[in-house]
C-alpha cells in the first residue's frame, strides 16, 4: 500500500477552493500525469463518478473514481477502482483569508510497476506528484492569477 499526505495554504476562501476542486476537469488541469477525465456523472450524494487515465512509468492506467463523500466546503473522498485501487481524501479548512487544503492518498499499484521500479522509487514519485498537485492548485489562486 502506497500512502502520501500533504497540506498547502491556498490564497482563496474555502468555498472557492472547494468549488474549483469539485469540478473533475480541474483535477486534470492540476494533477501531473492525469491525462484524461471523461464520462463524468453526478451522484445523488452530490459527488461524481468518472473515468480517468493516469500515466505512470510510461504506461497509461485507466480507472474509475467514485466520490463517496461530498461534504461542501469540508471534505471529498474518492474511491479509485480499476488497476489503481485505493482512496483519495481532500480536506478543506479555513485559515485566515485562505484555505488549508490537505490531500491524502492510499492505493495499491499494479504489480508490474513495483517490479520494474521498486516500491521506494514509486513512493517518492507519488509524494512528489501529490505535492505538485497541491502547488498547482495554490498557483491557480496566487495573487495576480486570473
Q: What is the grid cell recorded at 73?
A: 466546503
Give pLDDT tens digits for 113-139: 555 556 677 778 778 989 999 999 999
pLDDT at 92: 98
Residue 102 in contact with residue 21, Cβ under 8 Å?
A: no
The reported pLDDT for the residue numbered 36 is 83
Could you list the beta-strand ranges (E) of 13-74.
34-42, 48-56, 59-71
The percentage of residues in the chain with a pLDDT greater than 70, rounded to a whole number, is 90
Cα 107 to Cα 37: distance, rounded to the nearest angstrom: 19
Q: Which of these, 118, 48, 117, 59, lies nearest to 83 by C-alpha position?
A: 59
What is the pTM assigned to this prediction?
0.88
Q: Taking residues 62-80, report their average pLDDT.
A: 96
Residues 67-74 have a mean pLDDT of 97
Per-residue model confidence as pLDDT tens digits over 94-103: 999 999 999 9
Percent residues over pLDDT 90 in the chain: 65
Could you tell me the fold of the domain covering 2-140? Alpha-D-Glucose-1,6-Bisphosphate; Chain A, domain 4 (3.30.530)
Residue 28 above 90 pLDDT?
no
Tens digit of each residue's pLDDT (9 = 90 or more) over 31-59: 988 888 999 999 999 999 999 998 776 77
Could you tell me the residue ranges of all domains in the chain? Answer: 2-140
497540506: which residue's cell? 7
Give me the mean pLDDT over the 20-28 stretch.
93
What is the predicted pLDDT for the residue at 111?
A: 64
How far is the C-alpha of 104 from the C-alpha of 99, rounded, in Å? 16
> Is the four-CA dihedral 43, 137, 142, 140 of positive or negative sign?
negative
CB atoms within 10 A of CB 4: 18
Taking the C-alpha atoms of residue 93 and residue 90, their distance in angstroms, rounded to an integer, is 10
C-alpha cell of residue 78: 474518492
Q: Distance between CA 67 and CA 50 in Å, rounded?
A: 9
* pLDDT surpasses 70 at 112: no
Amino acid at each position: 500500500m502506497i500512502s502520501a499526505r500533504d497540506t498547502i495554504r491556498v490564497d482563496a476562501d474555502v468555498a472557492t477552493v472547494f468549488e474549483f476542486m469539485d469540478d473533475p476537469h480541474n483535477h486534470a488541469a492540476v494533477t501531473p500525469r492525469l491525462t484524461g477525465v471523461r464520462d463524468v456523472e453526478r451522484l445523488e450524494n452530490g459527488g461524481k463518478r468518472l473515468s480517468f487515465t493516469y500515466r505512470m512509468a510510461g504506461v497509461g492506467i485507466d480507472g474509475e473514481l467514485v466520490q463517496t463523500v461530498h461534504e461542501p466546503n469540508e471534505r471529498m473522498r474518492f474511491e479509485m477502482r480499476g488497476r489503481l485501487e485505493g482512496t483519495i481524501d481532500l480536506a478543506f479548512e479555513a485559515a485566515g483569508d485562505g484555505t488549508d487544503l490537505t490531500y491524502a492518498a492510499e492505493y495499491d499499484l499494479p504489480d508490474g510497476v513495483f517490479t520494474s521500479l521498486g516500491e521506494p522509487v514509486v513512493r517518492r514519485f507519488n509524494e512528489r506528484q501529490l505535492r505538485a498537485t497541491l502547488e498547482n492548485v495554490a498557483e491557480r489562486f496566487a495573487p495576480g492569477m486570473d
